[in-house]
């Protein structure tokens, strides 16, 4: 299998050296980047040094038992890993971040310390090769940052969006150049690009992944990190290697199985009750191809023995998206004000994109009471979803209400952030589903659900109660038993 675990196992068997495999992957990724504009920073020197360390460890193994122990300790031995350009969890002093912004120049911001998640990636055997593209400060579901000189393109159709904010990650993965990529998710930023590019993306339960030590949380608890993959087993194995709260985490992590990978290999423990939604939360119709794909996936779940029925939720789309966007605006404003204090001067309009400026302005107008009211609204949604899950084990929805958008449609040119996100023609109509799991902290996974008539991928989203990440992986493994389809294959 050409996934990350398969890549690591081939290296441990000595089929090629870690350095040779690294150079092959870098060449493939450079070719993909030339087509897709998916990489924001290259760190070949850092990667080569890490590859040499790993190769020396393998050379020191003198028996099968020692090689097996190395595989146990480093399950992703020698696997190249792109880190997303946004987020402090993967801070690495030798791998700067540009945050998708012209503020930091092509060299990026140098991190003052190593993120706990970055440390866990290194311990698992990953080799950091650079950073993937993201919209500025991660506030758009389409990766079209001006800082990178052009948009990131979808490998299935280059005129369409690869999603966001982990768009570069998804494009690189779906191109076939790399077997796994880091991503993070504050309002759908793992699941939206997974859907746009036909790969697998799990947003874990709040508190399950480390976020420190540089910050305690992102966007009031909305954000969390994980990976995008081409197999469910890679998704599960990456959780095994990295999950668990770090010291001083503000949220208690949920209980975990001994191994997500082992749990994934088991069938779901019972006949599951699945509530299917093929319209918006408000009952509005969505793109016909998307609705048909979700109904077909519901039929597949039914054929697997689960009980699927059309369901509704006790709230509307804007009940979710509006408070989420208030927290996104407040978080963006906090970051930008910190940069201004550090620089000793205001950020000029030409230094950030108009929509980012709009988010800054929104955050600056919100009072402390406004921010707490937004958090209270999300906590109330969490309670209501917990009650809903007394009837249904899983929620099945699309990831997006239509296939991946043409590039330019969601470029960050609108200076009114709220209009961009929740205005009459705003993003909430394109992405009405994904923010709910960020609002409640519950886990949700995007899996491929087929192709639209124009050949663009459609993603389905399964969401479970808080802490039921293993259950989502079990069901995803039923739906995607092997590797996902790739563009042109």
Render pLDDT for 315-339 as a digit per residue (tens, 0 to 9).
999 999 999 999 999 999 999 999 9
| The pLDDT of residue 45 | 98
Q: Could you say which DSSP state residue 148 is in?
A: G
- 129: three-class secondary structure by DSSP: strand
Mean pLDDT throughout 94-107?
A: 96
Task: State yes or no: pLDDT of 488 exceeds 90.
Answer: no
- 81: three-class secondary structure by DSSP: strand
Provide the pLDDT confidence category of residue 15 given band limits of 50, 70 and 90. Answer: very high
Which are the contacts of 302, defined by CB distance < 8 A and separation ≥ 6?
Answer: 308
In the numeric block, the tokens 């955050």 are attached to 363
State how far the Cα of 291 lies from the Cα of 278, in Å rounded to an integer: 5
Q: What is the CATH number of the domain that holds 461?
A: 3.90.1300.10
377: enclosing H helix or E strand:
helix 368-388
In the numeric block, the tokens 């480390």 are attached to 210
In the numeric block, the tokens 């990026």 are attached to 108
Is 338 among the domain residues?
A: no
Mean pLDDT throughout 128-146?
A: 98
Is 420 among the domain residues?
A: yes
Q: Which of 334, 384, 338 is nearest to 362 (CA)?
A: 334
Task: State yes or no: pLDDT of 278 exceeds 90.
Answer: yes
88-100 pLDDT per residue, tens = 999 999 999 999 9
Task: State yes or no: pLDDT of 238 exceeds 90.
Answer: yes
Is 263 among the domain residues?
A: yes
Instruction: Catalogue the E-assigned strands of 271-415.
Output: 273-276, 307-310, 394-398
Is 206 among the domain residues?
A: yes
User: Rounded to an integer, what is the distance from CA 207 to the centroid of its chain?
Assistant: 15
| The pLDDT of residue 295 | 98
State how far the Cα of 128 lies from the Cα of 121, in Å rounded to an integer: 9
| The pLDDT of residue 489 | 64
| The pLDDT of residue 132 | 98
Q: Please state the domain count of the chain.
A: 1
Task: State yes or no: pLDDT of 296 exceeds 90.
Answer: yes
356: enclosing H helix or E strand:
helix 354-365
State how far the Cα of 72 lies from the Cα of 68, in Å rounded to an integer: 6
Mean pLDDT throughout 41-45?
A: 98
**For 220, left (φ over 0), alpha (ψ -120 to 50), or beta?**
left
| The pLDDT of residue 252 | 87
Is 357 among the domain residues?
A: no
Provide the pLDDT confidence category of residue 246 given band limits of 50, 70 and 90. Answer: very high
For CA atoms 283, 287, 292, 297, give the dihedral sign: negative
In the numeric block, the tokens 């793109």 are attached to 287
State how far the Cα of 323 lies from the Cα of 320, in Å rounded to an integer: 6
Report whether 11 contacts 58 (CB < 8 A): yes
Report whether 244 contacts 221 (CB < 8 A): no
| The pLDDT of residue 349 | 85
Is 440 among the domain residues?
A: yes
Is 352 among the domain residues?
A: no
State how far the Cα of 343 lies from the Cα of 104, in Å rounded to an integer: 11
Task: State yes or no: pLDDT of 443 exceeds 90.
Answer: yes
462: enclosing H helix or E strand:
strand 457-463
Q: In DSSP terms, which residues pair with 446 in a beta bridge?
A: 201, 461
Instruction: Catalogue the E-assigned strands of 220-272.
Output: 224-229
Could you tell me the CA-to-CA distances from 306 to 21, 300, 405 in Å, in that order? 42, 9, 32
What backbone torsions phi and psi does residue 377 show, to the nearest 5 degrees? -65, -40
Give one DSSP letter per residue of 175-203, joined into a string.
TTS-SEEEEEESSSTTHHHHHHHT-EEEE
Q: Is the peptide bond before 213 cis (omega within 30 degrees of 0)?
A: yes
Mean pLDDT throughout 111-120?
A: 98
What backbone torsions phi and psi does residue 305 show, to the nearest 5 degrees? 105, 5
| The pLDDT of residue 291 | 98
**For 360, left (φ over 0), alpha (ψ -120 to 50), or beta?**
alpha
Is 123 among the domain residues?
A: yes
In the chain, the percentage of residues whose pLDDT exceeds 90 is 98
Mean pLDDT throughout 342-349?
A: 94
| The pLDDT of residue 90 | 98
Provide the pLDDT confidence category of residue 220 given band limits of 50, 70 and 90. Answer: very high
| The pLDDT of residue 1 | 59
> For residues 106-122, b (16+ Cβ closer than 10 Å) or e, as one string?
eebeebeebbbbbbbbb
134: enclosing H helix or E strand:
none
In the chain, the percentage of residues whose pLDDT exceeds 70 is 100
- Which residues constitute the domain of residue 116? 4-315+383-479
């Amino acid at each position: 299998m050409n996934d990350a675990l398969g890549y690591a196992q081939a290296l441990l068997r000595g089929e090629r050296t870690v350095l040779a495999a690294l150079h092959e992957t870098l060449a493939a990724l450079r070719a993909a980047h030339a087509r897709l504009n998916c990489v924001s920073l290259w760190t070949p020197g850092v990667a080569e040094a890490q590859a040499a360390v790993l190769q020396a460890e393998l050379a020191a193994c003198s028996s099968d038992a020692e090689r097996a122990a190395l595989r146990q300790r480093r399950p992703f031995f020698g696997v190249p890993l792109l880190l997303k350009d946004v987020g402090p969890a993967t801070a690495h002093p030798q791998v700067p971040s540009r945050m998708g912004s012209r503020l930091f120049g092509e060299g990026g911001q140098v991190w003052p310390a190593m993120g706990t998640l970055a440390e866990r990636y290194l311990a698992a055997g990953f080799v950091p090769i650079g950073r993937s593209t993201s919209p500025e400060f991660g506030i758009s579901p389409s990766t079209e940052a001006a800082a990178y000189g052009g948009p990131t393109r979808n490998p299935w159709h280059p005129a369409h969006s690869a999603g966001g904010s982990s768009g570069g990650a998804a494009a690189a993965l779906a191109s076939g150049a790399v077997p796994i990529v880091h991503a993070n998710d504050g309002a759908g930023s793992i699941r939206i690009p997974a859907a746009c590019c036909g790969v697998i993306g799990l947003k874990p339960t709040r508190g399950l992944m480390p976020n420190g030590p540089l910050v305690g949380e992102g966007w009031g608890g909305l954000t969390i990190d994980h990976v995008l993959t081409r197999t469910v087993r890679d998704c599960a194995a990456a959780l095994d290697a990295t999950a668990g709260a770090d010291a001083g985490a503000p949220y208690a992590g949920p209980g975990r199985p001994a191994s997500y990978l082992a749990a994934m290999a088991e069938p779901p423990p019972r006949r599951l009750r699945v509530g299917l939604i093929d319209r918006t939360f408000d009952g509005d119709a969505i793109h016909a191809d998307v609705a048909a794909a979700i109904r077909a996936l519901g039929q597949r779940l039914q054929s697997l023995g689960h009980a699927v029925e059309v369901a509704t939720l006790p709230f509307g789309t804007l009940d979710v998206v509006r408070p989420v966007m208030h927290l996104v605006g407040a978080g963006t404003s906090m970051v930008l004000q910190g940069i201004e204090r550090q620089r000793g001067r205001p950020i000029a309009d030409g230094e950030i994109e108009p929509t980012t400026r709009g988010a800054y302005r929104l955050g600056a107008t919100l009072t402390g009471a406004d921010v707490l009211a937004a958090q209270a609204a999300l906590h109330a949604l969490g309670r209501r979803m917990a009650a809903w899950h007394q009837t249904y084990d899983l929620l099945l929805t699309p990831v997006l209400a239509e296939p991946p958008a043409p590039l330019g449609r969601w470029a960050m040119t609108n200076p009114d952030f709220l209009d961009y996100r929740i205005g009459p023609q705003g993003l909430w109509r394109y992405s009405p589903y994904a923010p709910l799991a960020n609002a409640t902290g519950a886990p949700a996974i995007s899996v491929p659900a087929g192709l639209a008539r124009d050949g663009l991928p459609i993603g389905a989203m399964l969401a479970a109660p808080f802490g039921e990440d293993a259950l989502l992986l079990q069901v995803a493994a039923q739906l995607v038993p092997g590797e996902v389809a790739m563009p042109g294959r």
